[in-house]
Amino acid sequence: MDKNIEKRYQEFAAKNVGYEFKDVDLLVTAMTHRSYVNEHRASTHRHNERLEFLGDAVLEMVITDYLFKNTPDAEGKLTAVRAALVKTDSIAEAGRKLGFADYIRISKGERLNNGPRAMKVFIADAFEAVIAAIYVDGGYEPARDFISRNIVPQYEKIMEQGSWYDAKSHLQEWAQGECGQQPKYRMLDESGPDHDKWFRVAVSVDGKRIGTGEASSKQEAERQAAKEALKKLKVVK
């Protein structure tokens, strides 16, 4: 490995990741997107997808263990809270705080042609790959500690805001109980290029619009609309 690259990522590991790698090449691979390999075939041969696969499993195991020990609720709620903690938004936010965006190796084309929502996915993927890199380099405990420092702290916020629950299901139950009707979702706006779409959706019950939401996927925009509706209806805070 190029000595400058090795030094750069050793410093990144010490200052940002909080773990000293015996094999820093694992960290470099974890931060390398497939597009970078395609662009630098002469010097780079490995990307982070295999590590991401492993890191996803380690992340879920650590979070499952934490919730089992700290959340005395039914399995359904535990599953929902876990999903909120390990979703792309939560992971990307943790990676962003650690400065991952400055160290991810992606092609020039990907950087130029993709917007911030695509970068969020790149950061989340790299974060899971870094978990795996730590796991392979040092074992379960340092990987668990990395997750505990960077993902687990979001638990209190998720519980306080109630962002773990399925807003669409909750709204559907309320609408059926109060009005005997299903909520109806309608697309208000769809913008952006195919690789970086943005959706704006409204939800109505009994012909009255009660919430709007927007996100980078139609499904998430519907969830945001349902959340707003539940707050307006004072079903949740």
Cα atoms in the 13 Å half-sphere on the side-chain side of 214:
10
Paired with 213 in beta bridges are 201
Respond yes or no: is residue 2 known to be catalytic.
no
Residue range 107-155, pLDDT digits in tens: 988 877 766 678 889 999 999 999 999 999 999 999 999 999 999 998 8
Compute the average pLDDT of residues 205-221. 91
Catalytic residue among 56, 110, 125, 228: 56
Of 52, 125, 128, 137, catalytic: 128
CA 30 to chain centre: 16
Based on the residue annotation, tell me whether 56 is a catalytic residue of this protein: yes
pLDDT digits 0-9 by tens, 36-45: 998 888 888 8
Over 80: is that where the pLDDT of 18 sits? yes
46-53 own/partner pairs: CB under 8 Å, 24+ apart: 48/125, 48/126, 48/129, 49/125, 49/129, 51/26, 51/128, 51/129, 51/130, 51/132, 51/133, 51/136, 52/125, 52/126, 52/128, 52/129, 52/132, 53/132
The average pLDDT across 13-31 equals 97
What is the DSSP pairing of strand 184-191 with strand 198-205?
A: antiparallel
**pTM for this prediction:** 0.75
